[in-house]
Amino acid sequence: MEGQGFRARAPEFEELDAEILGVSYDTPEAQRAFAEAQGFPFRLLSDEDRSVAAAYGTRRADDHKAAAAPRRFTYLIDPEGRVAKAYVVRDIPAHPGEVLEDLRRLADAR
């Protein structure tokens, strides 16, 4: 699971002053319970009305067979609040390392 990879590398993200956030359509209560069960040191946000998914292009069409879940993307947002990079998540185990590499490059460029 993607969240577990980010959990395992959370200290590296903290060293870079990065905040990890997860978003899904689940209720706040379900998100809280899941985060606690997984031992996530980061927040999971609820997008019950799917407005965040629509804004970030991860919402599926209502008639899609997997409409109940957003498409799996990660966004690296810079300190000014701009999307520095968008990722289509394909290799779940390698993905946190990929984001860390790009975050380090972003930090070095400042």
- Write the pLDDT tens digit of every residue in 20-60: 999 999 999 999 999 999 999 999 999 999 999 999 988 99
pLDDT band at 2 (very low <50, low <70, confident <90, very high): confident
Strands (E), 1-110: 21-24, 43-46, 73-77, 83-88
CATH no. for residue 70? 3.40.30.10
Q: What are phi and psi of 55, to 5 degrees?
A: -65, -35
Domain extent at residue 71: 2-108
Counted domains in the chain? 1
Question: What is the chain's mean pLDDT, rounded?
Answer: 93
Q: What is the pLDDT of residue 69?
A: 84
The Cα 66–Cα 80 span in angstroms is 33
